[in-house]
Amino acid sequence: MFELLGIPPQALFGQLLLGLINGSFYAMLSLGLAIIFGLLNIINFTHGAQYMLGAFVAYLLLQYLGVGYWGALLLAPIIVGAFGIVLERLMISKLYHLDHLYGLLLTFGLALILQGLLRNEFGISGLPYNIPSQLSGGQNLGFMFLPNYRGWVVVASVIVCFGTWFMIEKTRLGAYLRAGTENPTLVGAFGINVPRMITLTYGFGVALAAFAGVLAAPIYSVNPNMGAELIIVVFAVVVIGGMGSILGAILTGFGLGIVEGLTRVFYPEGSSVVIFVIMAIVLLVKPAGLFGRTA
């Protein structure tokens, strides 16, 4: 039988597809991080916790208000995004004139608080959240059985990521945003409320994380630590892509998902470290990341 590196090609296709699915989450999360870093210069360590909040809000909406998956997909990002806006106004906005380090430490602290509070309230075992009935079941692709829901994750992620990219790079609103980060005084002089724009941008970045959280809820268990380990990996993804580069974050997210997927086949133990190895190499060779502008 024809084999590639000891793995039947069907199995390899399957693994590539799974890598792409995981990459969808990396892409969405790193996109939010990149936007926040690009426009606010804040390294948002709370991102993982906000992703987790998205999943929890979806769970709570279902438990207490009977709002199902589709409603949650819309509402949870808005709720968590609004929460992000409050955080930005109350705390993060106080740090813009300081070194990156402080933003990182503040949001790190916020992440600890959020995770701790939810852990006290809901424990750690994880809460069940079912796949919506419209997306249960799956397709037999010949080389693997693809659950419909995972297919949906890839589709949703691609739409959201490239939609966001288009908005920022190709529309007038995006142009204001980019200009506002380059020269806030000048943009302000044109009559645009720059602080509000920045606040809304943070809210949007957080909402992206929450959206990813809702997408993740049915396939990973909803638990307070679901974002804690992930955030470190997503950081690496953003750095590899080039801090602040929108397209870089998206492409690297999908790409590294696939690389990690392949590692799971050839050297499964190493799949948790491969991204960091890549990050070290990229930073040593190309300091500004794969898609970053050289500083």
Partner 1 sequence: MKKTGLIVGGLAASLMATSALAQDIDVKIGVLNDRSGLYADLSGEGSVIAARMAVEDFDAASKGINVEIVSADHQNKPDVASNIARQWIDDEDVNVILDVPTSSAALAVHEVLRDSNALMLNSGAATSDLTGEACSPNTVHWTYDTWALANGTGSAMVQQGGESWFFLTADYAFGHSLERDTAAVVEANGGEVVGTVRHPFPGQDFSSFLLQAQSSGAQVIGLANAGGDTVNTIKQAAEFGITQAGQSLAGLLIFLTDVHALGLEAAQGLVLTESFYWDLDDETRAWSERFMEAKGDMPTMVQAGVYSAVLHYLKAVEETGSTDAEPVMAAMKSTPTSDPLFGEGEIRADGRKIHDLYLFEVKSPDESEGAWDYYDVLATIPADSAFRPMEEGNCPLVE
Partner 2 sequence: MAGETRVAKAITPKSLSYAQGMPRHHLALFAAFLTIAVLAPFFLYPVFVMKVLCFALFACAFNLLLGFGGLLSFGHAAYFGSASYIAAHSAKVWGLTPELSILAGTVVAAFLGLIFGYLSIRRQGIYFAMVTLAFAQMVYFFALQAEFTGGEDGIQAVPRGELFGFISLEADRAIYWLVLAIVFFGILFLYRIVHSPFGQVLKAIRENEPRAVSLGYQVNRYKLATFVISATFAGLAGGTKALVFQLASLTDVHWAMSGEVVLMTLLGGMGTIFGPIVGATVIITMQNYLATFGAWVTIIQGVIFVIGVLAFREGIIGVLSRKIKKPL
Which residues of the shown chain bind partner 2 in the complex (CB under 8 A)?
A: 43, 91, 94-95, 98-102, 104-106, 108-117, 119-120, 232, 235-236, 239, 243, 269-270, 272-273, 276-277, 279-280, 283-284, 287
Residues 6+ apart with CB under 8 A from 118: 52, 56, 224
| Amino acid identity, position 22 | N
Does residue 221 touch partner 1 according to CB under 8 A? yes
Q: Does 15 bind partner 1 (CB under 8 A)?
A: yes
Q: How far is CA 95 from CA 231, 260, 295, in A?
A: 21, 35, 22
In the complex with partner 2, the residue whose CB is nearer, 20 or 236, is 236
Alpha carbon dihedral 74, 228, 66, 22, in 10-degree steps, equals 60
Neighbours of 164 (CB within 10 A): 22
- Which of the ranges 69-77, 142-150, 173-181, 287-295 carries the binding residues for partner 1, by CB under 8 A? 142-150
Per CB under 8 A, 147 contacts partner 1: yes
Query: Exposure string (b/e) for 188-221, b if CB count within 10 Å is 16 or more?
Result: eeeeeebeebbbebbbbbbbbbbbbbbbbbbeeb
Is 133 a binder of partner 1 (CB under 8 A)? Answer: no
Among 78, 105, 131, 290, interactor with partner 1 by CB under 8 A: 131
Rule CB under 8 A: say whether 163 interacts with partner 1: no
Which of residues 82 and 98 has its CB atom nearest to partner 2 in the complex?
A: 98
Q: How many residues lie near partner 1 (CB under 8 A)?
A: 40
Q: Does 235 bind partner 1 (CB under 8 A)?
A: no
Q: CB-based contacts of 98: which residues, under 8 Å, 6+ apart?
A: none
Residue from 3, 99, 169, 229 in contact with partner 1 (CB under 8 A): 229
Distance, in Å, from the CA atom of 52 to the CA atom of 98, rounded to the nearest integer, reads 28
- Member of 212, 251, 264, 275 binding partner 1 (CB under 8 A): 264
Classify 76 in phi/psi space as left (phi over 0), alpha (psi -120 to 50) or beta: alpha
In the complex, the residues that contact partner 1 under the rule CB under 8 A are 8, 11, 14-15, 18-19, 21-22, 116, 119-120, 123-128, 130-131, 138, 144-145, 147, 149-150, 219-221, 223, 225-226, 229-230, 261, 264-265, 268-269, 271-272
